Amino acid sequence: MIKKIMISLPKPAGEKSPYYDIEKEFGVEIVFRPFIKVEGLTAKEFRQQKVSILSHTAIVFTSRHAIDFFFQLANELRLTIPEDMKYFCVTETISLYIQKYVQYRKRKVFFGNTGKIDDLIPVMMKHKQEKYLVPLSSVHNDDIKNMLDAKGLNHTECVMYRTLSNNFTPEEVKNFDCDMLIFSTPTGVNYLTQSFPNVKEGTLKLGAFGPATGKAIEKAGLPVSLMAGTKEYPSMIAALKAFLKKENGED
C-alpha cells in the first residue's frame, strides 16, 4: 500500500495543485524534495570560456534556469543587452519568463511547442542569419550542438550554470519513510543510489518523468513502477492517478 510519495521537484507555488487533489482522492501524502540544485557561474569562471555574449544576435533558452543565470551573468559582467537581441525558447512558458528581466513587447521572442530543441530548430532556420548563443548547464551532452551543426546554423554553446547534487542529510536518510520515489531527471537517480546504497534490497517503488529518466533507473538495476511522459500518460498527474488506482485495486 502506497501511503507516502516523494517527488524530486520543488514544492508547487500556491495552494492549488493537481498533486494536492491526488492526496485527497487517494489518501496519500506527497512530499516535494529536489534532488539537484543549480547555481550560476561567476563572471571570472565564465570569462575562462572566452565567449563574447554581445557578439551574438540571438539567445537560445532551454529552461528558466538558463534565463535567470544569463541575465544575472550579464549584470555581473556589466553588459547592456541590445534592444534588438532575439530570444528563442523551447516552450511558450519559458519565453514568457523573460518578462522577469526585459519588456517582452519590445523584444523579438520565438518559441517551440514541445519543449524539445528539434521542435525549435525549424523556427531558428527562418532566422539563419542570426548568431546563436546557447547557455547550458555543466551537465549536458552534445545533442544540441550536433543538431545545430547539421542545419548549418551559426552558434556557440557555453556553460552558464552548474547542476549539483542536493544530497540527503544523515537525518533525512535515517528518517526516510516514503513508499515511493518519483524522479524528474536522470541525474537524480545517481543521488538515490549514493544516498541509499541498499535501495535494491527494499520495496521502494520508483517512478520517472520521461524515458531518459526511466532508462537511468533501469541502468541502476532497479524496476520502474510508473512512467510519465509517454503517449499513454503524457503528464505525471495522469500516470500517478492510474498507478494509485491500480495499487488500490480500482482497475
Domains and CATH numbers, the chain: 4-35+168-247 (3.40.50.10090), 39-164 (3.40.50.10090)
Q: Count other Cβ atoms within 10 Å, centred on residue 58.
A: 22
pLDDT over threshold 70, residue 251: no
Higher-pLDDT residue of 195, 163: 163
Query: So what's the pLDDT on residue 106?
Result: 57
pLDDT over threshold 70, residue 240: yes
- Can you read off the three cell numbers belonging to residue 102? 526585459
% residues pLDDT > 90 (the chain): 55
CA 115, CA 63: separation in Å to the nearest integer?
Answer: 9
pTM of the model: 0.70
Q: Count other Cβ atoms within 10 Å, centred on residue 83.
A: 10
